[in-house]
Amino acid sequence: MRVRKKLLILHSTYLFGGAERSLDEFIKNSYAVFDIYLATSLDSLFFDKVKRYPITSSSIHIPYLKKNLFCFLKYFLPTLYTSFKILRILRQEKIPVVYCNTYRSLPFCLFVRLFTGVKVVCHCRDNVYSTAIHWLITSFSDEIIVISKHIHSQFKTGKPIYLIYNGVSAIQNNRIVEDYSIREEYKIPVSSPIIATIGQILPWKNQLDFVLVADKILSGYPDCFF
């Protein structure tokens, strides 16, 4: 009988946004393969969402660490305490891999890095704008996952870096919206597919990729509108 691998997921945010939707999709498609242990705050919206999955959830107070010195000083001792609790879970359950959903979960791996050989994987979803964040990610992680070429280019390290674009389920989100205002405004035929992107006009959002893909799609499907 094949032994199922164990994975501990650390999640530190309280809302349910893009990073949480991506993680929810990952758990939904992975619990049949892995024994998943989730450590997150009980009062996070994500904790309520994943209770429907057959995974082991541990309610640990994981503060949402903001990018300033005051926050660091305020949560220094709670971070140490949370790190100890995570270390205890890893040792009790003999878990070989920790997955941090965004770099904000990495500080809670402090004792993991100091006292174990457990592999730490960081899913970096944010622009790495400072040397401190770059140091945190490269020092605490064994492997790094990034969501765009822009973020990939910001890392100067010999550690493995994997580029995995964000995405949504085409089947789950393929809902027909009966709204023809856009078609009427831009005189787009009802039979023509409309493909759009929504996001800030920033380098790490990679709108350039959307333009390049649009050019390729139009060469085979000229009736599309972007």
Q: What is the pLDDT of residue 66?
A: 60
Which has more confidence, 140 or 169? 140
For 117-165, how does the pLDDT look when each residue is reduced to its tens digit (9 = 90+)? 899 999 998 888 788 888 889 988 999 999 888 888 888 888 899 998 8
**What pLDDT is attached to residue 71?**
60
Distances (CA, A) of 119 to 8, 65, 111: 10, 22, 13
* 220, pLDDT greater than 80: yes
Pick the residue with more confidence: 195 or 72?
195
Tell me if 125 sits within 8 A of 102, measured CB to CB: yes
What pLDDT is stored for residue 145 in this prediction? 93
Find the mean pLDDT for residues 177-203. Answer: 79
Q: Looking at per-residue confidence, does 171 or 12 come out higher?
A: 12
